[in-house]
Structure formats: structure tokens, C-alpha cells
Amino acid sequence: MSHLHAAHNRSWRRSALGVFAAVACLAVSACSTQGADNGTASRHFKRESNHRLLEQFRSWARDTGESRTARHAQALFTLESTDSGDAYDVEVKTDYSARAADDAKELIRLFRTWWDGDDGDGTARDLVLLDAGGKRLTHSRL
């Protein structure tokens, strides 16, 4: 009977070690990819949707005859750096596919013209365009 008990104990320990290894592997994977999707792995950000800025951009684009390009901007986010005080990045989610790099450059040009160094409170560092799936398409300094 003790032999049966010892075999059951070994089996239970192997199962527990397997579960522990799987959990550890998942935890390491999650930590290593956190923040990597937008090239900000080494900095920490507070991400907030900013519909007001998106509407101001679209309104300006309509007034300047550029609404055809601006309509591809679907959402705008500010990413406030929690590491460096008043610095932040701007993300614009688009309806572009991952293959629309040339079109994305035109939208970046238009957005930078509109932004024109007026950071408001703080300092905007980068503009990041996301494709329709939310993956980084391209970026530019602001």
C-alpha cells in the first residue's frame, strides 16, 4: 500500500511542476511583450482616448480641403509618460491596412502640419499611426 501511495505522490508532484512551469512561462511571456506593440517597451504610459483633438483635426482638415486624407483617422489617443513628467506621445488609429505605408505618410504629413508644435500642456514627442488592427504602422517625431 505504501508503494501505491509513493507512486501517487510522484505523479502529483510531476503534475504540479508541469502546471508551475506553464504558469511561469506565461508570466514571462506576458512581461516581455508588455508595451512592445508600439515601440514603447522601455517607457510607461497612461493611454487616454481624446475625441476632442480628433474632431479638431478633422475640422481643420475640412477647412483646408484635406478631409479626404483626414477621414482615415479613426481614433486619437494621448499617451502620457509616467516616467518623464509632462512628455507624451500621440497615437492615431487609422483604417489603413498594414500595406498602406505611402498613404500613412500623407496622413502623418497632414497631422504634423496641423499640430505645428502646439503641444498645449506638456511636450508631445512622437506621432504613432496604427493600422486598422491596432498595430504600429509608422511613426514620426512631433
116 φ, ψ to 5°?
Answer: 45, 45
- Say yes or no: 68 and 115 in one domain: yes
- Contact predicate 90/128, CB 8 Å: yes
pLDDT tens, residue by residue, 34-93: 344 444 445 577 889 999 999 999 999 999 999 999 999 999 998 887 776 677 789 999
**Domain around 72:** 37-141
Give the SS3 label for residue 100. Answer: coil
Q: What residues have CB less than 8 Å from 128, skipping those under 6 apart? A: 38, 39, 89, 90, 91, 92, 136, 138, 139
Q: Residue 47: beta bridge partners?
A: 79
Radius of gyration of the chain (CA): 23
Do 51 and 10 have their domain in common?
Answer: no
Location of C-alpha cell 486619437: 76
pTM: 0.63
Looking at the structure of the chain, the number of domains it has is 2
68 in the same domain as 18: no
